């Protein structure tokens, strides 16, 4: 008797969909990863904004440029806090807003 096409795990059937081997589908694990990603990204962007603000402040550039980098960093800090608390969607929008403020400030240079 022959097996049905999806019964053998080595034939690429439904049991072996070729998905991410690390993705176990556990919603708690996915949420934890999203929180850590949002918090880490927010912290990294805040530090990058502060560093860019200090570098631009040391050079002769319009005052708007370092202020824009500092404002973008100040927007990314609450995004990191919201990411830690699990508000990842709001965190994402704040990260986008912070990067946009930094980009607009850089554009005015």
Distance CA 102, CA 39 (A): 19
Sorted by where each begins, the domain ranges of the chain are: 27-107
Distance CA 97, CA 109 (A): 19
Predicted TM-score of the model (pTM): 0.70
- From first to last of its 109 residues, the chain has per-residue pLDDT tens of 555 555 555 555 555 555 555 556 788 898 899 899 999 999 999 999 999 999 988 887 788 889 999 999 999 999 999 999 989 899 999 999 999 999 998 887 7
């Amino acid at each position: 008797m022959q097996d049905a096409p999806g019964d053998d795990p080595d034939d690429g059937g439904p049991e072996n969909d070729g998905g991410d081997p690390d993705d176990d589908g556990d919603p708690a694990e996915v949420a934890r990863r999203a929180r850590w990603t949002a918090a880490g990204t927010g912290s990294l962007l805040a530090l990058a904004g502060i560093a860019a603000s200090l570098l631009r402040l040391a050079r002769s550039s319009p005052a708007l440029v370092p202020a824009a980098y500092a404002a973008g960093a100040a927007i990314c800090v609450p995004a990191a806090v919201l990411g830690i608390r699990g508000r990842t969607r709001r965190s994402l929008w704040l990260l986008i807003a912070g990067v946009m403020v930094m980009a607009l400030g850089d554009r005015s240079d």
